[in-house]
Amino acid sequence: MKKIELEIIALSDGNSSTNSYAVVLGEKGGNRRLPVIIGAFEAQAIAIELEKMKPARPLTHDLFKNFADAFQLRLEEVVISDLKEGIFYSRLHCRNGSEYHDIDARTSDALALAVRFNCPIFTYEPILDTGGIVFDAEQEAQEDIKAETMANEPKRKGGFDDKSDAELKKLMEEALLNENYEKAAMLRDELERRNSL
C-alpha cells in the first residue's frame, strides 16, 4: 500500500476539561488534514521541540532519543498504520546498522519522537479517507488569515505588560529551570511579540 507523507502544521488546545490537545497533520502537497487528539504531556513535548526550547533536564522523549543515539538506533520514519474505533495506531521504523526494527507506539509518542529525530511521518490512503478532513483553497486562506491575525494580536493573558524585556528573559529562564514549559512558552511569545512591533 502506498504511503502518504504528512507534516505537522498545527498544535492547538483541545478540550480543556479533558486536558487534551490536537496535533494537525497535513498531507504534503495535498489539501487533506489529519487531526490527532493527544495528551498534554505529549503536546508539551512536541511544542518544546518544534520551538527549539531547551529544558534544564531531558524529558522522556529526549531521554529516548539520547538512548537511541548512544546505541546507534536510528528512527527512519513514523507510520500511522491504523485507525480503529477513533484511535490511531503507529509504528516506528528503526534501523541499527543492518538490523531493521518495527516497533508499536502510541501515535502521540511517535509524533514527539519524529520531531526529535527529524524523520518523516507517513500514513495510508484509507486512514486519510476515514479520519481526514479536506481543506479547499478558500478554507486554507481563511485559516492562514485567522492564524496571522491571532499572531499579531497582543497577548495579555500572561499579565506581562508591566515587565521589562530583561525581566521577561529572567522569568523565562526560571520557568525553564523549574520545568514550567507552558509559562516559558508564554514568556517567549510575549518577547517575540514585542520584538515584532
Q: Which of 26-35, 122-131, 154-163, 187-196 has the lowest mean pLDDT?
A: 154-163
Of 138 and 79, which is predicted with more confidence? 79
Question: What ranges do the domains of the chain cover?
Answer: 3-137, 157-196
Q: Is the pLDDT of residue 172 over 80?
A: no
Of 54 and 94, which is predicted with more confidence? 94
Q: What is the pLDDT of residue 153?
A: 45
For the entire predicted model, the pTM comes to 0.71
Q: Taking residues 115-121, what's their average pLDDT?
A: 97
Q: Is the pLDDT of residue 123 over 80?
A: yes
Q: Taking residues 19-26, what's their average pLDDT?
A: 88
Q: Taking residues 16-37, what's their average pLDDT?
A: 86
Taking every pair of Cα atoms in the chain, the longest distance, rounded to a whole number of angstroms, is 58
Q: What is the pLDDT of residue 182?
A: 72
Q: Which of 34-43, 77-86, 149-158 has the lowest mean pLDDT?
A: 149-158
Q: What is the pLDDT of residue 149?
A: 44
Cell matching residue 167:
525581566
The answer to whether domain 3-137 has CATH 3.10.690.10 is: yes
Of 151 and 185, which is predicted with more confidence? 185
Q: Is the pLDDT of residue 171 over 70?
A: yes
Q: Taking residues 14-27, what's their average pLDDT?
A: 78
Q: Taking residues 185-192, what's their average pLDDT?
A: 76
Phi, psi of 9 (to 5 degrees): -115, -15
Q: What is the pLDDT of residue 151?
A: 46
